[in-house]
Structure 1
Amino acid sequence: MIRVIIATDKVIVDGGINMAKRHQRATSATTQGGIIDKEMPIHVSNVAIVCSKCGPTRIGMKFEGEKKRRTCRKCGGDL
């Protein structure tokens, strides 16, 4: 799952990508302090496009009249 932060052009990718260790103080008797892993944002330009057929890929553009389509460079399919 991807969460987008439009104001800063960043995304947060779930699944253990770009994790950072943060020290957290115990705030009350119920919450435990310690070192926690936190997902950090990545700039949009550093995120790879993933094709459903062949995996991470680069994109190409195909023109059909006045419209542009994004296509996969590896298999040629639409993205």
Structure 2
Amino acid sequence: MSKLHIKKGDTVYVNTGVDKGKTGKVIKVLVAKQRAIVEGINMVSKSQKPSAQNPQGGIVKMEAPIHISNLNVVDPKSGEPTRIGRRLNDAGKLVRYAKKSGEEIK
């Protein structure tokens, strides 16, 4: 399986779907399914039984996973969506960089 261009904590731009044009922070990456859960993106209503955490139960809004092909990492320099490349830095470590600006992504 190839490495993904998205990591937890990245700010991403949504290319397609209902939330097209929105940006959000990646909460979790589901590597096996090639999906990511992004804060405030792809919201779904889920009915929940009453539990200790949620004694009331009822309908809860939550984020559903979105396929990573529909996401682009936001360039740290310009704030625009960009593609990702990998290269060796001065220390000889493989790092991700934004193709638009050449800026290293932390």
**Segments ≥4 residues shifted beyond 6 Å:** none
Does 2:43 match 1:19?
A: yes
Q: Relative to structure 1, is the Cα distance of residues 76 and 7 closer, same or farther in structure 2, using a 3 angstrom cutoff?
A: closer
Q: How does 1:60-79 map to 2 (within 5 A)?
A: 70-73=97-100, 75-79=101-105
Residue deviations 1:11-51, cap 9 Å, x none? 1112x1111111112246x6211111111101110112211
The TM-score normalised by the length of structure 1 is 0.67
Task: For structure 1, list consecutive stretches of 5 or more residues without a partner in the other structure.
Answer: 64-68
Counterpart AA for 2:58: G
Per the TM alignment, residue 59 of structure 1 is displaced from its structure 2 partner at its CA by: 2.5
- Tell me which amino acid in the other structure corresponds to 2:38: V
Aligned length: 73
| Residue 7 in structure 1 maps to residue 45 in structure 2 | no
Give the aligned residue type for 2:55: T
Provide the aligned C-alpha RMSD in A.
3.0
Scaled by the length of structure 2, the TM-score of the pair is 0.53
Q: Identify which of 40, 43, 65 aligns with 2:67.
A: 43
Q: Percent identity?
A: 34
Residue aligned with 2:80, SS: strand
Cα pair 2:75 2:98 within 8 Å, conserved: no
Give 1 or 2: higher helix fraction: 1
CA distance in 2, matches of 1:77, 1:70: 5
The aligned residue for residue 66 of structure 1 is none
For the pair shown, the structure with the greater C-alpha radius of gyration is 1
